[in-house]
Amino acid sequence: MAATKDMTEGSPMKLILGFSVPLLFGYLFQQLYNVVDTMIVGRFLGVDALAAVGATGSVNFLIIGFCNGVCSGFALPVAHRFGAKDYKSLRKLWANSIWFSAVFAIVMTTVTVVLCRWILRVMQTPENIMEYSYQYILVIFLGIPATYLFNLTSGMIRTLGNSRVPLVVLVISSVLNVVMDLVFILNFHMGVSGAALATVLSQLIAGIICVIYIVKKVTILHLEAGEWKPHKRELMELFNAGVPMGLQYSITAVGSVILQTAVNTLGSAAVASVTAASKISMFIVCPFDSMGATMATYGGQNAGGYKLDRLHKGLGSCVILGAVYSVIALGIIQLFGSSLLQLFVDAGETEILKDAHQFLLMNGLFYFPLALVNIVRFMIQGMGFGAFAILAGVLEMAARTLIGIVFVPMFGFTAACFASPLAWIFADAFLIPAYFSVWRKMKRQLEKSV
């Protein structure tokens, strides 16, 4: 198995499929973390515990999403150097990304742990699930260093064109997560904190495996004399790539936090409905996540090598894949949605199941706009224009905030079902013209340099 893969040569469709399919399985196994947590919590600890885990979902996305975004952003300059065959500069970026990640991990863990209970109160978490929510999210926040370790190392392996090793690591980690979930909850009776601990430990193990693989196999990342120390230029480049991408995740999540706060006011039954539907939806949309990650690597390598014609071809190929899968995903929801929801909620909870299916179906009808958000945004980020992703995130936040503040109080649960579709449409309205704008800008830069 090759440790790296050059995506600047060959058929774009073939490269995208070859890269995204292992990524897809990786994302599926990653979602298995959350699905198993939620299923076991809902089945063995009850609806209140299920709602408690769900009530932390948006703030979890806010904080952990920033970690994921920063690490993904750190990988983009590395992809550019790989595409340009500048390996010495690539290693300096790798070393400085380690320093940055360590600092971010320490600061974020300290701040979130101290403010954890305050955050839940600001979000108006229902009192009957407050303690469960606190127990769960506190452990997740304590595990932020493990999140950074895994996302940084797997992201670097992936940006060099290898999507298979992260898949293998996630399979191992997911199996361990399932085992630890059952042991911690059923044998040790640790409740929701046991589910969170299983997630953190499985990520830590995954990160350690990635480190071992890099040391053993990825020679391009083996640092030479003088490359370990921090370098101002590389630190600034990483900051400019990583922080905007992290903020894009977090800004998007702010809208989710506001929406979650509005849903929390509807009671724990509404929270449980959104939780169950969201877990199913997150699993179904994994192909869109893999397409986005593929476009970040594909766009980064080809932008680094100034293969501008390949950017259009790759984007078109991925959009076709996104359209086809959107239809398939809606069919899955229509045929199996009700049965899948019963993995999390007992069949006797008819009202929760009805609301959850409504939420799931409304989202499914708008999966193609979601596909475009992932494909186009990550392509733009891969090309090196992370600020545009932030603006798209602001539009998503605005849409969810509008629904949460104005329409949920007026129309209740039904309004919440339209929050994400509206957010995806708002983002697409900006991202599609933005892609063509940045492509033309890169073309002008290339023409001037010739």
Q: Could you report the per-residue pLDDT of 7-22, keeping only the tens digit for each?
A: 788 888 888 888 888 8
Residues 6 or more apart whose CB falls under 8 angstroms from that of 218 comprise 3, 4, 156, 157, 160
CA–CA gap between residue 45 and residue 450 (Å, rounded): 65
Higher pLDDT, 2 or 54: 54
> Is the model more confident about 146 or about 28?
146
pTM for the full model?
0.76
What is residue 2's predicted lDDT score, i.e. its pLDDT? 59
Band of pLDDT at residue 421, cut at 50, 70 and 90: very high
Condensed to tens digits (0 to 9), the pLDDT of residues 220-251 reads: 999 887 788 888 899 999 998 888 888 877 77
Confidence of residue 33 (pLDDT cuts 50, 70, 90): low
Cα separation, 165 vs 210, in Å, equals: 8
Q: Which two tokens stand for residue 352?
A: 């929760």
- The angle at the Cα of 141, spanning 135 to 146, to the nearest 5 degrees, equals 125
Q: Over pLDDT 90: what percentage of the chain?
A: 39
End-to-end CA distance of the chain: 37
pLDDT band, residue 450 (cuts 50/70/90): low
Task: Say if residue 46's pLDDT is above 90.
Answer: no
CA atoms within 13 A on the CB side of 144: 26
Distance CA(248)–CA(336), nearest Å, equals 33
Both structure tokens of 429: 């309205």
Give the pLDDT band of residue 34 (cuts 50, 70, 90): low
Poorest-confidence range of 21-25, 40-44, 254-258?
Answer: 254-258
Q: Where are the alpha helices (DSSP H) in 123-163?
A: 127-142, 144-159
**According to the model, what pLDDT value does residue 37 have?**
67
Q: What share of the chain is helix, strand, coil (3-state, %, to 5)?
A: 85, 0, 15
Q: ∠ at Cα 175 (173, 178), nearest 5°?
A: 110
Number of neighbouring beta carbons within 10 Å of residue 336: 12
Residue in 260, 371, 254, 373 with CA at minimum distance from that of residue 323: 371
Q: Do residues 169 and 12 touch, judged by C-beta distance below 8 A? A: no
155: which residues sit within 8 A by CB, 6+ positions away?
A: 71, 72, 74, 75
Nearest Cα neighbor of 161 from 94, 91, 83 is 83
Residue extents of the structural domains in the chain: 12-449
pLDDT at 301: 85
Predicted local distance difference test score (pLDDT) of residue 7? 79
pLDDT bin (cut points 50, 70, 90) of residue 1 is very low
Residue 354 predicted with pLDDT over 80: yes
Per-residue pLDDT, averaged over 75-99, amounts to: 90
pLDDT the model gives residue 134: 95
Confidence class for position 108, pLDDT limits 50, 70, 90: very high
Q: Is the pLDDT of residue 254 over 50?
A: yes
Report CA torsion sign: 219, 245, 115, 273. negative
Task: Identify whether the C-beta of residue 369 lies closer than 8 Å to the C-beta of residue 424.
Answer: yes
